[in-house]
Structures are given as C-alpha cells and as structure tokens.
C-alpha cells in the first residue's frame, strides 16, 4: 500500500510537470516501503541524494517553463523552491552527520508534496493552460 497515492487533486494541468511530480511521489513511497520493511538505513542516503538532485532539476525546469510563459507569480514561486531546496539540503547534512530522522523525513516529504503541489503548483496550472502549455 502506498504512503501517498497520486490523484487528480495533485494535477497541475501541465502533463510534464505532473509526470515529474509523480516521480517525487514514487520516491516518497519508495522510502516508506523501505521503512516498513526495516531497510530505511540502506535507502535513506541514496534516496535523499536522488531527491536533492531531482528537486534541483525539477525546480529549474519548472521555473524556466513558468518564465517562458510570463507567469506573474514566478518570483514568489521561486522563493518557495529555494526554501524547499534548503530544507532538503538540511536533511542531507543531518543524515550525513549520522542523524536518523526517517519519520521526520517522511512527514516532511508528505507535507511538502501535498501542500506545495496542491497550493503553489496548482495555482499556475490555469495560467499555463491559458498560455498554451498543457
């Protein structure tokens, strides 16, 4: 059973963004599944690095797309991305220093994905669709 199921309530209306978000949901579910099997210690580090890389690439791609469409709230959206990148980086640093925070990490990722996608990302969907991006 998945920790977080992708549903239409997460859809931005932009297919490529939704596909990338599904990858983030899959990473969260991968960590949760490993924790449930008692394997979090072997997957947390690589998953955190994957998440850091993925968010960096995803945020850059998303910001470029929004910029190209002249999205008026891009600066605020970019600030949200910077804050989220910092939080993920902080988790990486804590993990690398030997701290184990699997439940905290799961909660953070779950809340981040649900809140950021449903509030911040869904907000640009109609703008992007109105500017020919689907």
What does the pLDDT look like over 50-90, one tens digit per residue?
Answer: 878 888 898 999 999 999 999 999 999 999 999 988 998 88
Q: What is the pLDDT of residue 60?
A: 94
Whether the per-residue pLDDT at 95 is higher than 80: the answer is: yes
Domain locations along the chain: 11-122
Residues 6+ apart with CB under 8 A from 40: 31, 34, 100, 102
Fold of 11-122: 1.20.120
What does the pLDDT look like over 14-43, one tens digit per residue?
Answer: 999 999 999 889 888 888 888 888 887 787
Whether the per-residue pLDDT at 101 is higher than 80: the answer is: no
Whether the per-residue pLDDT at 1 is higher than 80: the answer is: no
Whether the per-residue pLDDT at 11 is higher than 90: the answer is: yes
Q: What is the pLDDT of residue 122?
A: 93
Q: What is the pLDDT of residue 106?
A: 85
DSSP H or E stretch at residue 16: helix 15-36
What value, to the nearest 5°, has the Cα angle with vertex 43 and ends 86 and 37?
A: 125
Q: What is the pLDDT of residue 18?
A: 94
């Amino acid at each position: 059973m998945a920790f977080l199921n992708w549903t239409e309530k997460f859809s931005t209306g932009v297919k490529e963004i939704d596909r990338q978000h599904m990858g983030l949901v899959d990473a969260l579910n991968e960590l949760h599944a490993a924790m449930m099997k008692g394997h979090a210690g072997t997957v947390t580090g690589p998953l955190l690095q994957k998440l850091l890389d993925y968010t960096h690439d995803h945020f850059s791609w998303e910001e470029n797309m929004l910029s190209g469409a002249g999205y008026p709230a891009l600066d605020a959206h970019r600030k949200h991305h910077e804050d989220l990148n910092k939080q993920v980086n902080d988790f990486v640093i804590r993990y690398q220093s030997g701290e184990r925070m699997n439940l905290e990490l799961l909660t953070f990722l779950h809340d981040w994905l649900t809140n950021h996608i449903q509030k911040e990302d869904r907000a640009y969907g109609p703008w992007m669709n109105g500017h020919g991006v689907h």
